[in-house]
Structures are given as structure tokens and as C-alpha cells.
Chains A and B, each alone.
Chain A
Amino acid sequence: MNDENKITQPVILIGLTILILIAISFIKIEEEINVFGITIQEVDILSDLKEAPVYDDYYDDDYYDDEYNDEEEDEVRLKRNLIVEQNFSKASFGVIDNINDAAVSFIYSEIEKFNNSASIEDIIEKRKIEGKTDQLKYFFEAIKKANTKKIRIAHYGDSQIEGDLVTGAIRDRLQKKFGGEGAGYLALTSQDRMFRITTDHKYPDDTWETGSIFVSNRNKWPLGIGGEVFVPTKSTWVSYETRGYFSTVRKFKIARLFYSDAKILSINYSFDGGVSNPAKLSTGSNVKELILEAKKKVTSLKLEFSASEQAYFYGVSLESGSGIYVDNLPLRGNTGDGLQKIPMDKLQDFNKLLNYKLIILQFGKNAMGANYIRYEREMAQAIEHLKKAFPQCSFLMISVQDSGFKTGSRTTGLLSSQIRIAKKTGIAFWNLFEAMGGRNSMSKWVKSSPPMASADHTHFNHEGSKKVGEMIVEALLEAYDDYK
């Protein structure tokens, strides 16, 4: 009895399973149901064969619909309409044409696949900067004079810009085009020093106490431009040595130390391991800079601090002559709203010293799943805070990137939220999500050869970060060409 051959059963079983799954695909989920933080999705086994669904949570081209005055943009939209119309007319010709078209595209795509490589070049989309692009005028006017002046950019972001990967690529491209040598602003201690690709940063452990937006600021110290402030707990030192990953940051001529409230005024410094020279800080509660100039271009700097609680130290900037400097300012685990916590007077002090012309904001991942209404309010407040402190500065918001095996509703929800923030605060916006390939593109970045993102399906790797940085610069330069 038990040895009876049931060889027909597998066919029926799998057939039945498919029927049940097809039946399940008719179930529509009206309300959002969450189970342990996982949002229940509709499951449609035939989805690959159906037309891409229209999502109502976020539209790819709804940004500033009422403000499209760019002629080229109109042309693009016109073309898109034309394609839609063509498809309509095709439909009327019937099935034969469709099969014919499909056959032709089959042959072409099979030929293309001969090299067998999975490359993101096929999925990335050239994406313009959208929205209030005329707000970028401060930056564009400034770079016209880049050959005689120093132009400064601040790049704020969360863990995705740690390690100076994305920022490093932006800086590299801009410095090669407009001049400038040096990695810009660096903190005195940092959480990402193990993997910073542009600077080898050293200091003895347990000699610095830090107040910051993203860890804690229990002494209520005034925070600096990077959202951090550093105070020595005993006599200590900090050293920076450039790394060769990008050519324009290998050497620098000037180091600027930013501080305030100095109590003990003497410090020592040396370049390239040479003799230690004394220098003097000055007193006062506003942010000051100590400018240290090397006799020739150098690759390393060491600063020695003589006493505990000597002063509030904010950071060091490594620079040379005129050109563009891009400051990498990562706030790990932050949504960006924390920028409000940097006191207005400190920001204004920094603006006098550094005169920022462009602030790039690249946040998002840490706001995923949060209350977006609150996030919009807080982030808009943070941007207004910065705008007040830097009135002659342009702002560019970079959208959240795609993440996960598939794009979830939290990502698209955040994306539309970020579009609203940019709209509300009147700043320019660049849609990284669409530029990297839109829905479900992260898994392709991970699978691409070579891989462009890490297996966590969230962070870009070295290659990918470089690509993202280059794409941002490309969009900026295109907007600059339009402006000129």
C-alpha cells in the first residue's frame, strides 16, 4: 500500500499551489497592516508579466509640477507623452506588431548579453537637479571666481557619507576642475577614522572628551560646524597624514585650527614630522582660527595640546590656495534634524571664517519608518536654521537612496516627504533614488559586477560611493552650464 507509486501527485501539488497563489494575488490590502514592524504586502505571483503598477505613494516626476519652466524639461515630457501615444497606437494594430517588436528587442538584448556582465550603467538615469535651482546662484556665482578665491562646500549626511567616500569623490572631481588642494575640514577625534580614505587620523585614546549631536553633549558645550566639540582631558596630541586615494588631497600648505574660549594659550605644531613649533591661541568666546602655514607643500600635521580643558576645539582644515574645498561632515545615526542643535552664533562665526557657498544635505536612512509629518517639520526647521546662519549660501538636498531586496513603502514615503521638505524650504533637490535606477535598484547595485553596494543593501561601497559622488557633481555641473 505504502509503496504505491504517487508519481502523479507532484504535478497536481505544484499546479494546485500555483492556483492558490494566483487566488492570493487577487487579495487587495486596503489598510496598512504591520506585524512586528513588517508591513504586509500584496503578493502577486504574476507581477512580472503585468504592467508596472502605478504607485500612489510617490511619483517619479511630480516634483515642482507647477514650476517646470525649463524648456528642455518640457521637451522631455513631450517626448514621454509621445511614447505613450505611440504605445496606444501600437495597441490598435494588435498582437502581431507586439510580437514582432518583442522578437526584435529579444534579438538585440540577447546580443548585448554576450558579455554576460551585470552593469549598473544600464540602469542609472541621468538626473537633473530639480526644484528651486535658482537658489544655487550663490554657489554658481562663486565658482566663476574659483581661480582667485577659496570656495567652500559643506557636505552633511549620515553614515552613508562616513569615511569621506562620497564626499571624497565630489571633492576630487571639483578640485580637478576648479583647483584646490587639501581634504578640508576634519574633526579632532572621529568615529570613522578607521576607514577614512583620505586621511590617516591618529590621537591617543581617552585623552579627548567629545560633545556631539549624535552621541551626547552632557556638558552642554557649544557645538561647532561639524556638530561636535572636543576638549582635551589631559595633555595630548592629534595627527593627520594624507592618504593617496585621491590625488588632490595628497598635499596641503595651510592648516587652520578652529577653537573658542581658550584658557591656556600655547600649543605646538609640526609639519611632516619636523621640529615642533610653538603657536598662540587667543582668548574670547567667539570661534577663532589659528592659521599654520608650512614653508612648502606637506603631507602631515601634528598638533600638541598642553593641558586639560585648554579650550573648545572644533576642527582643523587642511587647504592650499584658491579653488574648491569640500568639507565632509558626517552625523552618524542622525536624521539631519539634529543640525538645529548647533548654536546660531557659532554657525555665524564659522560662516565668517569659512564663507560656505553650498551646503549639501544627504540624510534619510535613519528617518525611515519614523513619523514623517514630524520629520518634515523638524528637518525643515533645521534647514531654516542653517539658511539663517548662512544667508549667502546655496542648498542642495540629496534624496534617500533605495534600499533592501525590494523597495519598501517606507523608502518611497520618505522620498515624497523629502521632496515636500525641499519644496517647503525652497531649496534645490537631487533625486538619488531615481538616478540610481529607481525602484528595486539597490539589489542591482549589490549584484552588479563589480559590486557597487555592500551586502547590507543599504550602504554604497567604495566603487558605488565614487559613482554617487560623480553623479552628484555631474548634476551640479549641468545645472551650472544651464545657469551660465
Chain B
Amino acid sequence: MDTTFFERLITLLTYNPFEPLLFNSGFFIFFFLFVLIFSRFFYHNPRAKVFFITFFSFYFYYKSSGIFVYLLLISSLVDFYAGKYIYDCDNPIRKKFLLILSVLTNLGILGYFKYTNFFLQTFNSLGAGNFELIDIFLPVGISFFTFQSMSYTIDIYRGKLNPEKRFIDFLFFVSFFPQLVAGPIVRAADFLPQIYQKSFITKEEMGRAVFLILAGLMKKAIIADYISINFVDRVFEWPTRFTGVENLLASYGYALQIYCDFSGYSDMAIGLALMLGFRLNINFNSPYKSASITEFWRRWHISLSSWLRDYLYISLGGNRIGNIRTYLNLLITMLLGGLWHGASWRFIIWGALHGFGLAFERFTNWPKIVNKNKFLRVLGVIFTFHFWAFTMIFFRAQSFEIAFDVINQIFTFFQSEVFIQWIEGYPIILFLMIVGFATHYFPEKWELKIQKFISWLPLIGKAILIAIVIWLVAQFKSADIQPFIYFQF
């Protein structure tokens, strides 16, 4: 259809259900420039800065979720006032009541939007009812911002945090756009004190910010997106069409994809926040270097696992009330942590597998044993990665049936001779997988060296570097789908 310039401009600027605003979309860089201009202009005037960034954050959320921008506002209002009243209240019972009210509100919102159909389906399949499923739109990032505001009220209740005086400051904390839709889950105690500091960024931090944005872009928009659409998704769509070799490679591929996708997005968030003068904590720390599952969960999605530890595991009693309770608490924490990732029994099973894994390691003191020598450590890394890749089959497959198909193909229809054909058939996938895994296992020193190099580059050099990566991303994004190959065996 023919459109005028203004119509196209409005289409671009308004909410489009098909095009959520991602960091790696073309529009985002213009949006970010605007934010930077305002934030620089008001950098000595924190109140104005807070106001404008909050405004832009809400616009960012509107662009991805449309009318649900009000949900963000309402849930923030509830938590802000809950925090205030909890703090002001002297009666411990009323205090507790207010806390429960606030937690239930948050979980209620999350539960309604994310889990209603899951519960209806579970009821139906148990024969307990015959409920029609409801067409519910899942607002973007709801799992993240509800957890973020819950940590605020719980910390106030525990006396670890003083409530914010001004609503806008709290709103700024909840809606801050770099971490709004996909984390990291920021703690109020870490973030709020930064608001009223004068924005600053050092030369080294500039290099680090650019490095994180570039690394994130390459991980998310090149490696993850390309291997998923051209290989992994095909296999997980219909695993029985493919040999065991391909199913195994797809499982490894998915382990790489989910890491690149998720950590890449977190890296970009941290880099973008840093450019605005805000420091967010690291969210992924080369998780596939872990020699045990216990270590893994200290390196993977750190902001979530520490949240679960502080607000769920410890609330359940942690390891203070006996051995059996400790194991049980681990299991419950991981089960609910699994459910947080998605409304399906597959995520619960996934969480349970990790819960059992953690309990087993605690029982056998495995994390200590494995660090006794290098050899054991290498074995531990290989085993931990495979345990993870195995559990991720349940995470990725759309149904239990498909998950079991994948496992079944790997163990009963391996056809190892197809491997050579696979290498010839999917050279780009192979290349990206090697690059993805190899860079993951690089020593940390190298990363620091690259950061140092980027810091040393003049601004124009940094700009050229970013432009090159964006150009590359565009090439991979618009590349034709690789042909489907059915190997002969």
C-alpha cells in the first residue's frame, strides 16, 4: 500500500504487536540517541534526568506492549505505597499483612497473565473441569518487573532498605528501560543510590560499555538468531525427521543459542545502562566453565538465582532448619524457579531436575571434590555442560512428546556417519558454533585486553566498529534461509 511519510513515521513510532522494540532493531539506536541527548543535557540536574529517562522508559514499554503500559504504572503504584506503609507501620502483624498483600498483588498479576491457561489446562487434564482457555496477552517483561518490585517491598519489610520518598524515583527504578523487559533483575538497594549521583563514565568504562554492546549484539543477533532459525528450530520442530547426530548437535546448538540470546541481551542492557552512567551487576559469568551444577547456578542468570536464593530459599528457611528441609527447600526453589521461566510442566520438570542435581551435589560434596585437581575439573565441566544440555531439551521442546523424541533419536538412531555430511552441509552453523563455544572458554584476561583496546580507540574508531557490527547483524538478519538438508544414511 502507498503511504505518506507521516503515516510511515507514525507506524514506526507507535506500538506494533508484531515488532517489539528490541535493542537490536534499527529503531532502537535512534531512540537511544534521544535518551542520551536528554540525559547528557540534564546530567547535573538529576531530577530532570530521572523524569526524562522515566518518560522514555515508559515510551519504550508502550512500543512493545501497547496498552499494558498502564499495568506497569499500576503495579508500581501498589508497591510504592505498600513499601511506604510497611515502613511507617509499627505493628508487626499489620506489617506482615501489608507485605502479604503486596506480594499477593504482584504474584496475582503475574499469575493471571502468565499462568491462568496453564492452571486451566492442568485442571482440564486432571478431569476436574472443562474450562475454555482464555486469550490472554502476556505483557512483555512482566516476570522481570514484578520480581524487581517484590524485592523492594520485601527488603523494606526486612529492614534492609528505606522506602523512596518520591514516587517518580521508584517508577524510574522499576521501568529503567535497559533492564525492563529481559533483566538483569536489579535490586533497589544497588540501584536507587545511583539515581542522585552526577552521571559519570570513565574512559575504561566507555570501552567496557562498547565491548558489552558489541559482544551482546554478536551473541544475540548473529550467533543465537542464525543458528536457531537455520538449524536448531528445524530439529526441535520435528526431531524424528533427523538423525541422532543432528538431534545431539541441535541440543548443543540450543545450549549455545540460549546462552548467547540471554546473556547477549543482558550484556547489551549493562552496556547501555553504563553509557547512561548507571552500573548494573553482571548477570552471566561464562556459565559453561562451571565444574558443578552448584557452580553453574552462581554463573548463570545470576540476578535471578540470587533473587530466588534471597527471597524464596531463605524465606523457606534455607539451610537453617535441618538437612531434610534444606534438600526440600532446594527442590521447591528450583521447581518454582523452573515455573518462572514459562507456564508449562516442562519447566517444572526442568526445575526439578536441577533441584535434584543441586541436592545430590550437596549430599556428596561434589563441588569441593571436583575442584581438587585439573583433571577432575575438566571432567566436571564436561559433565555439567551435558547435564545442562540434557535438561534444556525439556526447556526447548514444545511438548514432552518432542523432548522424548529428541532423546530417543539420540540414543536409538544415532547414525554417526551423518556427521561428516552435516559439516559439509552446514558450514556457517559449524563456524558460528565453534566461534560461540571457543570464545566462551577464552581466559578472562583476553576479554579485558579487548576492552582495553576498545577504550584506547578514538571515538570515531569505536563508532566504525559499532557500525561494522550493525552492518553484519543486518546481513545475517536478511540472509536467505539455508536450504533444508535431509542426509542419506
Q: Is the CB of A116 within 8 A of B37?
A: no
Tell me if B456 counts as interface (CB < 8 A to partner A).
no
Q: Is the CB of A49 within 8 A of B486?
A: no
**Which residues on the A side are within 8 Å of B233 (C-beta)?**
454-457
Tell me if A411 counts as interface (CB < 8 A to partner B).
yes
Q: Is the CB of B32 within 8 A of A216?
A: no
Mark each residue of chain B from 173 to 213: 1 if its CB lies under 8 Å from any CB of chain A, else 0: 00000000000000000000000001111111110011000
Cα distance A43–B470 in the bound complex, in angstroms? 9
**Which residues on the B side are within 8 Å of A19 (C-beta)?**
463
Tell me the count of chain A residues lying within 8 A, CB to CB, of chain B.
86
Q: For chain B, what secondary structure do more than half of its interface residues adopt (helix, strand, loop), or is it mixed?
A: helix
B347 to chain A, nearest CB (A): 17
B-contacting 9-mer, from A95-103, A253-261, A339-347? A95-103
Q: Is the CB of A194 within 8 A of B201?
A: no
Q: Which of A360-401 contact B (CB under 8 A)?
A: 365-366, 368-369
A-contacting 9-mer, from B153-161, B279-287, B475-483? B475-483
Q: Which of B444-489 contact A (CB under 8 A)?
A: 459-460, 462-464, 466-467, 470-471, 474-486, 488
* A38 to chain B: closest residue by CB: B479
Q: Is the CB of B467 within 8 A of A24?
A: yes
Q: Is the CB of B204 within 8 A of A2?
A: yes
Q: A404-B479, A406-B477 are in contact. Are A459 and B237 (CB under 8 A)?
A: yes
Q: Is the CB of B206 within 8 A of A113?
A: no
**Which residues on the A side are within 8 Å of B481 (C-beta)?**
368, 403-404, 408, 457-458
Tell me if B428 counts as interface (CB < 8 A to partner A).
yes
B333 to chain A, nearest CB (A): 30
Q: Is the CB of A10 within 8 A of B480?
A: no
* A332 to chain B: closest residue by CB: B486
Cα distance A21–B33 in the bound complex, in angstroms? 14
Q: Is the CB of A116 within 8 A of B65?
A: yes
**Which residues on the B side are within 8 Å of A15 (C-beta)?**
33
Number of A-B pairs, beta carbon distance below 8 Å = 230
Q: Is the CB of B10 within 8 A of A14?
A: no
Q: A13-B459, A116-B17 are in contact. Are A41 and B474 (CB under 8 A)?
A: yes
Cα distance A116–B463 in the bound complex, in angstroms? 37
Tell me if A106 counts as interface (CB < 8 A to partner B).
yes
Mark each residue of chain A from 48 to 61: 1 if its CB lies under 8 Å from any CB of chain B, else 0: 11110000000000
Tell me if A5 counts as interface (CB < 8 A to partner B).
yes
**Which residues on the A side are within 8 Å of B9 (C-beta)?**
49, 102
B472 to chain A, nearest CB (A): 9
Q: A14-B32, A84-B2, A116-B65 are in contact. Are A458 and B234 (CB under 8 A)?
A: yes
B285 to chain A, nearest CB (A): 25
Task: Identify B210's interface contact among A13, A18, A99, A404, CB under 8 A.
Answer: A13
Tell me if A353 counts as interface (CB < 8 A to partner B).
no
* B6 to chain A: closest residue by CB: A102
Tell me if A410 counts as interface (CB < 8 A to partner B).
yes
Mark each residue of chain A from 5 to 19: 1 if its CB lies under 8 Å from any CB of chain B, else 0: 111111111111111
Cα distance A459–B238 in the bound complex, in angstroms? 10
**Which residues on the B side are within 8 Å of A72 (C-beta)?**
none
**Which residues on the B side are within 8 Å of A117 (C-beta)?**
17, 135, 137
Q: A45-B26, A455-B229 are in contact. Are A16 and B463 (CB under 8 A)?
A: yes
**Which residues on the B side are within 8 Å of A101 (C-beta)?**
4, 6-7
Cα distance A4–B201 in the bound complex, in angstroms? 8
Mark each residue of chain A from 208 to 237: 1 if its CB lies under 8 Å from any CB of chain B, else 0: 000000111000000000000000000000
Cα distance A102–B11 in the bound complex, in angstroms? 9
B109 to chain A, nearest CB (A): 16
Mark each residue of chain A from 433 to 467: 1 if its CB lies under 8 Å from any CB of chain B, else 0: 00000000001100111000011111100000000
Q: Is the CB of B67 within 8 A of A10?
A: no
* B3 to chain A: closest residue by CB: A51
Tell me if A20 counts as interface (CB < 8 A to partner B).
yes
Tell me if A83 counts as interface (CB < 8 A to partner B).
yes
Q: A83-B2, A105-B7 are in contact. Are A408 and B137 (CB under 8 A)?
A: no
**Which residues on the B side are within 8 Å of A191 (C-beta)?**
241
Tell me if A321 counts as interface (CB < 8 A to partner B).
no
Q: Which of B272-292 contact A (CB under 8 A)?
A: 275-277
Q: Is the CB of A113 within 8 A of B15?
A: yes
Q: Is the CB of A11 within 8 A of B36?
A: yes
Q: Is the CB of A12 within 8 A of B67?
A: no
Tell me the count of chain B residues lying within 8 A, CB to CB, of chain A.
83
Q: Is the CB of B12 within 8 A of A109?
A: no
Q: Is the CB of A14 within 8 A of B277?
A: no
Task: Identify A98's interface contact among B5, B14, B241, CB under 8 A.
Answer: B5
Mark each residue of chain B from 9 to 38: 1 if its CB lies under 8 Å from any CB of chain A, else 0: 111101101100000001101101100110
Cα distance A214–B415 in the bound complex, in angstroms? 19
**Which residues on the B side are within 8 Å of A215 (C-beta)?**
488
* A114 to chain B: closest residue by CB: B67
**Which residues on the B side are within 8 Å of A12 (C-beta)?**
459
* B43 to chain A: closest residue by CB: A7
Task: Identify B201's interface contact among A7, A24, A113, A444, CB under 8 A.
Answer: A7
Cα distance A12–B459 in the bound complex, in angstroms? 8
Q: Is the CB of B10 within 8 A of A105?
A: yes
Q: Which of A129-171 contact B (CB under 8 A)?
A: 159
Q: Is the CB of A13 within 8 A of B479?
A: no
A-B pairs with the 6 shortest C-beta distances? Answer: A408-B480, A102-B6, A118-B17, A16-B463, A456-B233, A10-B275
Residues of A within 8 A of B (CB): 2-21, 24, 36-41, 43, 45, 47-51, 83-84, 87, 90, 98-99, 101-103, 105-106, 109-110, 113-118, 159, 191-192, 194-195, 214-216, 332-333, 365-366, 368-369, 403-406, 408-411, 443-444, 447-449, 454-459
Can you list 7 A-B pairs with a CB-CB distance of less than 8 A?
A10-B206, A20-B464, A48-B8, A48-B12, A98-B4, A448-B18, A455-B237
Apart from A3-B202, A194-B240, A368-B483, what 13 extra A-B contacts exist at CB < 8 Å?
A: A2-B203, A4-B202, A6-B200, A14-B275, A17-B470, A43-B475, A84-B2, A87-B4, A106-B10, A117-B137, A118-B18, A404-B480, A456-B237
Residues of B within 8 A of A (CB): 2-12, 14-15, 17-18, 26-27, 29-30, 32-33, 36-37, 40, 43, 65-68, 135, 137, 198-206, 209-210, 225, 228-230, 233-234, 236-238, 240-241, 275-277, 405, 427-428, 431, 459-460, 462-464, 466-467, 470-471, 474-486, 488
